[in-house]
């Protein structure tokens, strides 16, 4: 069964023919398109390592069928920086040492970007922690992650970053 799928990936239109309807968006990104920044952790929607933005919403790419992404707009960790300029969330994660092993980090950053787009957490660390509860960090870098999200929120709200 060949399924043609067309979508916008990190700003570029991609046309792919799926030869297996079982392929998830996560496997499509990693195995076919060789974008391995999106990580496969549990592969069951529990850890958040595979988080990407799908039509502007953060989702678990492991629980998304690639075939159902026809016509979608997808943003992965590879599409976040503008050339050599890191996205403020990436810079804030580095500034706050918000990682140890780094495996969960692409998912954490994409989830954090999604969290700010949702605009529900504000400056409340408790709401940020709850809003990041779909992303597990086995190294336990949660304090740094919360601090990074708070800082990135302010950086993104600054006038010169408003378009970032």
Partner 1 sequence: MKNFDYVRPATVTDAIAAAAAPGAVYLAGGTNLLDLMKGDVLRPSRVVDITRLPGLDAIESLPDGGVRIGALVRNAVLAHDADFAKRFPAVAEALLSGASPQLRNAATAGGNLLQRTRCAYFYDTASACNKRDPGAGCGARGGETRLAAILGWSEHCIATHPSDFCVSLLALDAVVEIAGKAGQREVPLEDFYALPGDTPQRETVLEPGELITAVRLPAEAAAFSAHARYLKIRDRTSYAFAVVAAAAALRMADNKIVEARLALGGVAAKPWRARAAEALLIGERPGREIFRHAAEAALTDAKPSGDNGVKIELAIRAAARALALAAAGTPARIPALPASPFAVPNGVLHV
User: Which one of residues 6, 68, 102, 138 is an interface residue with partner 1 (CB under 8 A)?
Assistant: 68
Task: Quote the least distance from Cβ 65 to partner 1, whole Å.
Answer: 6
Query: Any contact of residue 60 with partner 1 (CB under 8 A)?
Result: yes
Largest CA distance in the chain: 50
Task: Quote the least distance from Cβ 80 to partner 1, whole Å.
Answer: 17
Please give the structure tokens belonging to residue 159.
């006038």
| Under 8 Å between Cβ of 130 and 96 | no
Count residues near partner 1 (CB under 8 A). Answer: 35
21 vs 85, beta carbon nearer partner 1: 21
The stretch among 91-99, 120-128, 144-152, 153-161 that binds partner 1 (CB under 8 A) is 120-128
- Alpha-carbon distance of 61 to 44, in angstroms, equals 10
| Under 8 Å between Cβ of 49 and 103 | yes
């Amino acid at each position: 069964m060949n399924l043609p799928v067309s979508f916008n990936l990190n700003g570029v239109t991609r046309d792919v023919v799926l030869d297996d309807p079982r392929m998830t968006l996560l496997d499509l990104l990693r195995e076919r398109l060789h974008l391995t920044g999106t990580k496969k952790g549990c592969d069951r929607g529990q850890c958040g390592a595979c988080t990407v933005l799908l039509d502007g919403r953060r989702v678990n790419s492991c629980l998304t069928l690639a075939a159902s992404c026809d016509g979608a707009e997808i943003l992965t960790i590879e599409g976040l920086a503008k050339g050599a300029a890191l996205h403020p969330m990436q810079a804030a994660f580095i500034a706050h040492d918000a990682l140890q092993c780094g495996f969960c980090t692409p998912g954490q950053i994409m989830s954090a970007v999604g969290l700010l787009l949702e605009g529900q957490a504000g400056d409340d660390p408790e709401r940020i922690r709850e809003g990041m509860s779909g992303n597990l960090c086995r190294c336990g870098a949660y304090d740094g992650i919360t601090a990074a999200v708070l800082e990135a929120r302010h950086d993104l709200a600054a006038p010169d970053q408003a378009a970032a």
